Amino acid sequence: MVSMSGKRGNGEGSIYPYKNGFAAYAWVTTPDGTKKRKYVYGKTREDVHDKWIKLHVEAKNGPVATRHRTVSAFLAYWLESIVKPNLAPLSYVSYEGCVRLYIAPHLGSKRLDKLTVRDVREWLTKLTITCQCCAQGKDAKRAPSRRRCCAAGECCEAYASRRVIQAARDALRAALTHAVTEEEIGKNVAALVKVPKPRRRRIKPWSAAEAGHFLADAVTREDPLLAAWVLVLCLGLRRGEVLGLTWKSIDFEAGELYVDHQIQRAGRQLLHRETKTEESDDFLPLPALCLKALRMRRALQIGDRKAVGDLWQDSRGLVFTTKYGTPIEPGNMTRMFALRARRAGLRGIPLRNTRHTCGSLLVALKVHPKIAQRILRHSQIAMTMEVYAEASEEEVRAALGKLSEAMGGAS
């Protein structure tokens, strides 16, 4: 405490009068390993003394940041230095969009070390009642003659969905987790705020009969993507995995297919990259129907190449390309699948839901359960046998009867 003479108390050598109160400093080691002064301020000597003691304790426990960044400054650093070099391009695009559109406009100006649980909760609540067309100026960006809602004075009330709110919270949580790791903050306040999980609408997948009708219709119409639909429905391959296949990945002699690459749209880039994890890479046995469809696809591509001549663009030997040899956009494949389903007179389902039909079709193709286990990527044969038990052999074989005949008897 200060004496009557105004001298500093014992052990308070770094506390001194400053502006309308007092200040103090202590030497600390910063996260980059350098020694710097760290200052604390307060209206009374007692306040500063308490802060000064806490500062000494922090300095003994580990590195202490001397300059605190805003949330926007830290997020910019996190995106460029942590996310972009270490995560998949699609992850960067997703995180960057969340930061730019939803986090920075509301929380960006706050100091990172001062961000509280209440700030995060209030931000998420505000997101649910903020029209994103107004906030992002979507209608205002249109030509004056094409403005039809918010910029024209009639708010369209385009509120963020539960899925968007969860993605924004998850992006902030991921960034703050790294801030904790780098010891810029003591706790992750975003992790302490819960958000309602978006409800997923359950869609009934196609039956084997519907899938068989879809493939038979594709054969009848000479669909250039017939082999893609066969691989999706009979092997359960994902959209990106099908589009990323190269002819080098297919061994016609051994009857195997190696899945290790995918086509992805990440912002303005169309990427041919490795699959997400090593567990996704695998050799898959090819049933006779798949082999027949792939041979037809190879013949069709050779024909396209001859037809366009010098206009052909070699895309690293991709199996599925446009008629000029360029990669197929993932979004275009999704739209083509929906169009083909409508033309076949079938109810529409998302392309990703076709995997659920795969097991039933393997029964129709008389694929041995052990081979089906590998194709379906089941850890236990019992799971595969459950699929086989549920599928009616009579129904699924009849469903693929027309397809087999149309493709020259392949079963």
SS3 content of the chain, % helix, strand, coil (to 5): 55, 10, 35
In a 10 Å sphere around its CB, with 0-12 CB exposed, 13-18 middle and 19+ buried, how is residue 10 labelled?
exposed
What pLDDT does 357 receive? 75
**296: confidence class by pLDDT, cuts 50, 70, 90:** very high
> What class, spelled out in words, does domain 71-192 have in CATH?
mainly alpha
Residues β-bridged to residue 272? 263
What pLDDT does 228 receive? 94
Strongest mean pLDDT among 84-88, 103-107, 388-392: 103-107
Q: Which has more confidence, 387 or 2?
A: 387
Buried b (16+ CB within 10 A) or exposed e, 153-168: eeeeebebeeebbbbb
Domain boundaries, the chain: 15-61, 71-192, 208-406
Tell me the mean pLDDT in the region 273-288: 65
User: How many Å apart are CA 112 and CA 69, to the nearest integer?
Assistant: 6
Structure tokens at 190: 């975003």
Type of residue numbered 411: S
Residues β-bridged to residue 35? 29
What pLDDT does 338 receive? 93
Q: Is the predicted pLDDT of residue 143 greater than 80, yes or no? A: yes
Contacts of 291 (CB under 8 A, 6+ apart): 252, 255, 410
Q: Which has more confidence, 291 or 402?
A: 291
Structure tokens at 274: 């490795």
Number of Cβ within 10 Å of residue 65's Cβ equals: 20
**103: confidence class by pLDDT, cuts 50, 70, 90:** very high
* Rg (alpha carbons) of the chain, rounded to whole number: 30
- The whole-angstrom distance between residue 155's C-alpha and the CA centroid of its chain comes to 30
Residues β-bridged to residue 394? none
Q: Which of 68, 154, 76 is nearest to 114 (CA)?
A: 68
Tell me the mean pLDDT in the region 96-105: 94
- The whole-angstrom distance between residue 47's C-alpha and the CA centroid of its chain comes to 47
What pLDDT does 355 receive? 73
**118: confidence class by pLDDT, cuts 50, 70, 90:** very high
User: How many Å apart are CA 26 and CA 55, to the nearest integer?
Assistant: 7
What pLDDT does 408 receive? 54
Q: Which residue has the tokens 């054969």?
A: 219
Q: Is the predicted pLDDT of residue 226 greater than 90, yes or no? A: yes
pLDDT tens column, 150-200: 888 888 888 888 999 999 999 999 999 999 888 778 889 999 999 888 777
**276: confidence class by pLDDT, cuts 50, 70, 90:** low
What pLDDT does 51 receive? 86
Tell me the mean pLDDT in the region 305-316: 87
Mean residue pLDDT across the chain: 82
Angle separating helix axes 330-343 and 226-235, nearest 10 degrees: 90
Structure tokens at 328: 């197929």
Q: Is the predicted pLDDT of residue 139 greater than 80, yes or no? A: yes
Q: Under a CB-based contact definition with an 8 Å cutoff, are residues 42 and 22 in contact?
A: yes
What pLDDT does 392 receive? 52
Q: Is the predicted pLDDT of residue 365 greater than 80, yes or no? A: no
What pLDDT does 178 receive? 93
Contacts of 26 (CB under 8 A, 6+ apart): 14, 37, 38, 52, 55, 56, 59
pLDDT tens column, 32-68: 778 888 888 888 888 888 888 888 888 888 777 666 7
Assigned superfamily of 208-406: Intergrase catalytic core (1.10.443.10)
Tell me the mean pLDDT in the region 318-329: 91
What pLDDT does 165 receive? 93
What pLDDT does 314 receive? 81
**386: confidence class by pLDDT, cuts 50, 70, 90:** low
- The count of residues in the chain is 411
Number of Cβ within 10 Å of residue 33's Cβ equals: 7
Give the C-alpha distances (Å, rounded to integers) separating 31 from 53, 179, 183, 187.
Answer: 20, 11, 7, 16
Give the C-alpha distances (Å, rounded to integers) separating 38 from 31, 187, 206.
Answer: 13, 20, 65
